[in-house]
């Protein structure tokens, strides 16, 4: 039996988020995206999916989501993940 830890989210403490958007954002966007790790997955002829992973507090998360919106990037998902699931640079 796997025990899931219950984490308490707060407005001021950073946690690791994984955000998926359609299309290709290359590594040059990492600084613009708050230093998040950027990975792009291509599956056959489908549109590539970019995954941004990194530690953000709620204010930084809101800012990043607004920047993605201003670029016209719809969100596929936004997940709060355990730190041991996060990729490293």
Per-residue model confidence as pLDDT tens digits over 15-52: 999 999 999 887 777 777 778 899 999 877 888 999 99
Integer angstrom CA distances of residue 23 from 1, 3, 11, 83: 38, 35, 29, 25
CATH number of 15-83: 3.30.70.260
Say how far apart CA 67 and CA 46 lie, in whole Å.
24
pLDDT, position 62: 94
Domain map (residue ranges) of the chain: 15-83
pLDDT of residue 82 exceeding 80: no
Q: How many CB atoms lie within 10 A of CB 9?
A: 8
């Amino acid at each position: 039996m796997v025990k899931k830890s219950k984490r308490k989210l707060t407005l001021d403490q950073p946690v690791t988020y994984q955000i998926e958007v359609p299309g290709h954002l290359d590594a040059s966007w990492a600084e613009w995206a708050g230093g998040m790790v950027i990975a792009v997955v291509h599956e056959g002829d489908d549109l590539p999916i970019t995954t941004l992973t990194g530690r953000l507090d709620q204010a930084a998360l809101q800012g990043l989501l607004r920047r993605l919106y201003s670029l016209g990037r719809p969100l596929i998902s936004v997940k709060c993940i355990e730190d041991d699931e996060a990729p490293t640079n």
